[in-house]
Amino acid sequence: MELKGKTAIVTGASSGIGAEFSKALAEKGVTVYGLARRKSKLDEVKKVVGDNFIPVELDVTKRQDVDAWVDHSLENQSVDILVNNAGFGKFGNIDELPVEDWEGMLNTNLSGIFYLTRRVVPLMKSNPEVCHIVNIASVAGLIGNPQIAGYNATKFGVRGMSEAMMKELRPFGIKVSCFYPGSISTEFFSHSGGSTHPNMMSPADVAHTLIHVLETPDNFLIDEVVMRPLNPKPPEK
């Protein structure tokens, strides 16, 4: 896809990789609708990214708000790219994980993708150009581990949903890719309770990969990308 002049929606654009995706896309000449709940953080992103970034205060778990935003803002608007990135993890033993954390992860990491995607796909189906949906899962969508059963459940769900969407939507000229990143240096770990390490990936490197995947020729689909730090521990001296 030639990115210049295209329109993208990026969820979770107020921090972390979503903010970095927005910056990288805007630098390529893409108009980016950046969705998140924290308006003040979105405004900070806009100061860095500039006029190509349109901040949208929206909670992806609120289906009626998602519907209202699509109806109000995307009428007669062509959408070329959707990056379903908003998400969070809460780690803990299965017998100690609060029900509200389980429900919050399901609502955000899975239902949030469904609520927005179901409204954007019809716009993409009527777009004569090839479009692209990128879902951000995690290596936790491939590998189960202790204390992350809830997060695993949502990210394994994103994997299945992405594969099904890929097969369903390619006849309509809509690419679907799913990313499975390992640890990235973002706010994620300050909410999750998981531990960090000194060699996490940089959000800018993940954004570089997004641009590469989006810029591939129309008849070429990278549908899954696993990315990890080369060494999760500092190299031995």
**Which residues within the stretch 53-72 sit at the binding site for ligand NAP (CB under 6 A)?**
59-61
Looking at the Cβ atoms of 18 and 157, the one nearer to ligand NAP is 18
Binding of ligand NAP by 36 (CB under 6 A): yes
Question: Mask: binding to ligand NAP, 168-207, rule CB under 6 A, as x and -?
Answer: -------------x-xx-xxx-------------------
CA distance 204 to 165: 27
Binding of ligand NAP by 152 (CB under 6 A): no
Looking at the Cβ atoms of 31 and 185, the one nearer to ligand NAP is 185
Three-state secondary structure of 155-213: HHHHHHHHHHHHHHHHHHCEEEEEEEECCECCCHHHHHCCCCCCCCECHHHHHHHHHHH
Binding of ligand NAP by 9 (CB under 6 A): no
SS3 142: coil
Binding of ligand NAP by 14 (CB under 6 A): yes
Dihedral of the alpha carbons of 14, 19, 25, 30, in degrees to the nearest 10: 20
The least CB distance from residue 237 to ligand NAP, in Å, is 26
CA distance 45 to 13: 8
SS3 29: coil
The least CB distance from residue 209 to ligand NAP, in Å, is 13
**Which residues within the stretch 206-235 sit at the binding site for ligand NAP (CB under 6 A)?**
none
